[in-house]
Structure 1
């Protein structure tokens, strides 16, 4: 384990002592969480940031209500995508002028993949295969399949297993591959892929790469520019705490920015949008990745989450994240050994994101029983219970309490009650 103090020999008071000395403990005050709740689902939706309601009210009452249309200039609305993009770039190692916050992750993937394939068609017209992980988040796969179908003419999506990615694509990086789209952290298992070596392997094979950072931005240190990556996308509502459905981001390397052909050529990406020209001319640099008018209220609220990271030492976040997940894994192995529980998150720090995922045949019902106790994780098919370990507001005591609650639920078969078998529209 990273810290020899954190072992299965400790008890709850020891966890409390470690929490009291945590250098990140003051960041918990930046979030508003319900009392008597342990929130372990920040890898799906981050909690409300302090001041979010007040900021939304300010935009609605003052900037919109009083400033009206003048606020596009006076309140900086027009520049918000780039303003927030600079803050995201600092979190993901993107460099100045490399990122905009806009649209959704799926839409940004469509834009990036379309542009990448067009670049490849100009340089290597016989490359028409898109590779992505079989366990990529389904929306990414769906968007790529839809794009390939739209393009026709031999374009296709091929799915690869995580082991193939980790090995550097020894069997699948053929001369047909134009583009590889990878999730940095597997949303189900929490497996982290090495960005530097994987990007190098893809480039050696003649393909471009797009990284999906939804489950890593704000959770660990990222160096997009240093890795040599081509493009990246991600959301702001998970570890970045932007709010439900808050806008996503897109990053493009400096070398490719002005080669990017916008497939959704809306007026916000125009070089001179207010000339109202009937002909599209793309803006120079990062603004060409915009499409239409932006959602100002959600963007303004999302900025609060991004601002927290201006004051966060990401190396400290990563260290605590690994310590929390080490403790979680050790406690599950030692205290739930009598039950059919399997840890599917890698033990190796270099392959682990900021979550722990375990499987059990009754995973959905167990998570339902856990949520009833005020401990909120989530469930993913098949049989996976996910626990997001967000170091800014989760401590070691909460990890202890979560595993103890799991032990009670499994020992007493609390999960077997009828109400825990009923599924809502969202699981």
Structure 2
């Protein structure tokens, strides 16, 4: 790139005036010359340097130093403690409604089954055709096992679920509606509050997947009257590959929550080694097996950083990054036939954009080999994931410029 490139100059100006620019230095590898553009923070976030220190200390002082005594010295309480912090910092949830456990897939199963038990006699699950495969597959399996019907909502290719679309699908037979807050492909932001109102008017319950919004889009689960929510922690919560997921169950649903996977640590008195399962009180009944202690450590560091910065500031940076990306893509790739498959309204767009072109699947291996790292989603899309605290405007432009330079051009 030339130093007098107007897009490069614009990116550098935006970085120079960005009040959050300094936080990028807290992420390990942010200045790695072998990766000039990491545009996949919506899939796997960079690690914080503080996390490397925390993990080393934990292995040496707690794992090696305490061994099994660590369970009696705070480890067993971590899922609830970190869950409460997550609720306060990123979910708008009062204490006692969030917990760290399992994977997103397992928690979708648990919460989906519990919601159906809470609506006996109803026979339908409503979900959209463009939801993430896990969400669809889990609900398909539950419906098959329980003899229920799936009712599908069709959504706009560059959009997602809407209140009007949900209203047209729900009815007296609807038990559960399963949707994503931010669509994994298009980045469309659903109106959680309004859609949940529509679901409740039909007498059904709503289960929201927040995997692509938690940590980048402000959320108010309590104020929005959400029933159940789940999400992963390795995207904008920077928990690392395979980091544990989290679940939210509104307080009003906890007493009657029917846990479908009876594990000993979700029982009322695990160390009694009782003959029969009795669920624990409160949010701990969501737990089944051994808490993922190591996986929670990195999440704690990112929650600390999000609390320091504030999610409103994170959201403003996210919107600025995606707006810059949209402008750059249109300018540099529009004539090559690249289509933006995400909402144009920044208020309706999460922290990534998807751009479509038939050549992208073939370009991806070469891009990755040179450290330009977006990801690919069918049918023709590159997702540009712009993690607000670790991605700079110049990095964003570097990636977009590299993609544009590799596109086939007509004569």
Alignment TM-score > 0.5, same fold: yes
Match of 2:313 among 308, 312, 316: 316
Where 1:11 maps in the other structure, the secondary structure is: helix
Residue 322 of structure 2 corresponds to 325
Measured on the aligned residues, the alpha-carbon RMSD in Å equals 1.7
Output the CA distance in 2 between the equivalents of 1:288 and 1:165. 31
CA distances 1:212-251 after superposition (whole Å, capped 9, x unpaired)? 0000001110011110110000000011100000000000
User: CA 1:54/1:160 → structure 2, altered by over 3 Å: closer, same or farther?
Assistant: same
Aligned pairs for 1:23-42 within 5 A: 23-33=19-29, 35-36=32-33, 37=35, 38-42=37-41
Instruction: Report Cα offsets for 1:366-414 as digits up to 9, x if no partner.
Output: 233332332211001111100001110112222222222222111579x
1:243 aligns with 2:231: no
| Residue of structure 2 in register with 1:156 after alignment | 149
SS of residue matched to 1:244: coil
| Match runs of 1:11-30 below 5 Å | 11-30=7-26
With the length of structure 2 as denominator, give the TM-score of the two structures: 0.93
Give the corresponding residue for 2:294. Answer: 297
Cα distance between partner residues in 1 of 2:40 and 2:133: 19
Q: Equivalents in 1 of 2:274, 2:334: separation in Å? A: 68
1:133: Cα distance to partner?
1.3
Structure 1: how far apart are the matches of 2:328 and 2:64? 53
Output one character per residue of 1:240-265: Cα deviation in whole Å (capped at 9) or x when no partner: 10000000000011111111111111
The yes-or-no answer on 1:87 pairing with 2:85 is: yes
Contact map agreement 1:369 1:409 (CA 8 A) in 2 = no
What is the DSSP-based 3-state SS (H/G/I as helix, E as strand, rest coil) of the residue aligned with 1:66? helix
Mapping 1:106-117, distance limit 5 Å? 106-117=105-116
Q: Is 1:247–1:298's contact at 8 Å kept on the other side of the alignment?
A: yes
CA distance in 1, matches of 2:232, 2:14: 32
What per-residue deviation string (whole Å, max 9, x for no partner) do you get for residues 162-192 of structure 1? 2583124243112111100001111111111
- Cα offsets for 1:60-106 (capped at 9, x unmatched): 232121211111122x1111100110121121111111100110001
Aligned-partner Cα distance in 1 for 2:276–2:406: 63
1:3-57 per-position Cα deviation (integer Å, ceiling 9, x unaligned): xxxxxx9532232122122111121122112612221101111111213233223
**Residue of structure 2 in register with 1:143 after alignment:** 138
CA distance in 1, matches of 2:213, 2:225: 17
Q: Secondary structure at the match of 1:120?
A: coil
Q: Which runs of at least 4 in structure 1 moved beyond 4 Å after TM superposition?
A: none
Supply the distance in 2 between the matched residues of 1:242 and 1:183 (Cα, whole angstroms).
Answer: 20
Provide the C-alpha distance between the structure 2 equivalents of 1:268 and 1:162, rounded to a whole number of angstroms: 40
Relative to structure 1, the CA distance from residue 255 to residue 288 in structure 2 (aligned partners, 3 Å threshold; closer, same or farther) is same
Aligned to 2:125: 130
SS at match of 1:79: helix
Q: In the aligned structure 1, how far is the partner of 2:18 from the partner of 2:72?
A: 42
1:142-175 superposed Cα distances (whole Å, 9 cap, x missing partner): 11111122223xx122221225831242431121
Are the counterparts in 2 of residues 168 and 201 from structure 1 also a CA contact under 8 Å? no
Q: Is the 8 A contact 2:100 2:245 kept in 1?
A: yes
Alignment of 1:188-227 (within 5 A): 188-227=185-224
**CA distance in 2 between partners of 1:337 and 1:298 (Å):** 42
Runs of 5+ consecutive residues of structure 2 not aligned to the other structure: none
* Number of aligned residues: 398
Q: Which residue of 2 aligns with 1:360?
A: 357
Distance 1:410 1:214, change over 3 A: same
Give distance in 1, aligned partners of 2:319 and 2:66: 46
Q: Secondary structure at the match of 1:78?
A: helix
CA distance in 1, matches of 2:165, 2:335: 38
Task: Name the CA distance, whole Å, in 1 between partners of 2:72 and 2:204.
Answer: 41
SS at match of 2:322: helix
Q: Spell out the pairing of 1:53-68 with structure 2 (5 A cutoff).
A: 53-68=52-67
